[in-house]
Amino acid sequence: MAAQAAPVAITGLGVIGATGRGVAAMDAALQQGRDGVGPLTLWQSPLDFPVGEYRGPRLEAYLPAPELLPRMSRSDMLALVASHEALQQAGLAAPALSKARAGAYMGQSVCGTLTSEAVYIGAKESAAAGDTGKRSYAGLLVHEGANTLDLMAKTFGLPGPTLNFLTACSSAANAIGLAAEVIRSGRSEVMLAGGADSLSNIVFNGFCSLKVVSPDGPRPFDRQRQGMMVGEGAGVLVLESLAHAKARDANVLALLTGYGHSCDAHHLTAPHPQGRGAIEAMIGALAQAGLGAPDIGYINAHGTATRDNDDVEAKAIAHVFGDRTPVSSTKRFFGHTLAAAGGVEAVVSVRALQLGELPQNLGTQDPEPGIDLVVQPRQTAVTHVLSNSFGFGGNNAALIFSRSE
Out of 84, 169, 244, 261, pick the active-site residue: 169
Q: Cα–Cα distance between 165 and 161 in angstroms, integer?
A: 13
pTM of the model: 0.96
CA dihedral 398, 399, 400, 405 (to 10 degrees): 180
Domain range 8-402, CATH architecture: 3-Layer(aba) Sandwich (3.40)
* Residues above pLDDT 90, as percent of the chain: 88
CA distance 371 to 327: 7
Any idea which of 265-274, 287-296, 307-316 has the lowest mean pLDDT? 265-274
Q: How far apart are CA 301 and CA 303, in angstroms?
A: 5
Q: Give the residue extent of every domain in the chain.
A: 8-402
- The percentage of the chain sitting over the pLDDT mark of 70, rounded to a whole number, equals 99
Q: What mean pLDDT is predicted for residues 43-52?
A: 96
**Per-residue pLDDT reduced to its tens digit, 111-150:** 999 999 999 999 988 888 888 788 888 889 899 989 999 9
Instruction: List beta partners, residue 387.
Output: 300, 399
CB 344 within 8 A of CB 85: no
Q: Among the options 84, 244, 272, 336, which is catalytic?
A: 336
| Strand, coil or helix: 174 | helix
- Cα separation, 397 vs 302, whole angstroms: 10
Q: Which neighbouring-strand residues pair with 386?
A: 299, 400
Options 84, 272, 302, 384, the catalytic residue: 302
Say whether 169 is catalytic.
Answer: yes
Q: Are 265 and 396 in contact (CB under 8 A)?
A: no
Active site residue 336: yes
In DSSP terms, 235 is beta-bridged to 15, 195
- Give yes or no: 272 in active site: no
Cα distances (angstroms) measured from residue 179 to each of 72, 80, 131, 245, 339: 24, 18, 48, 16, 16
Three-class SS of residue 100?
coil
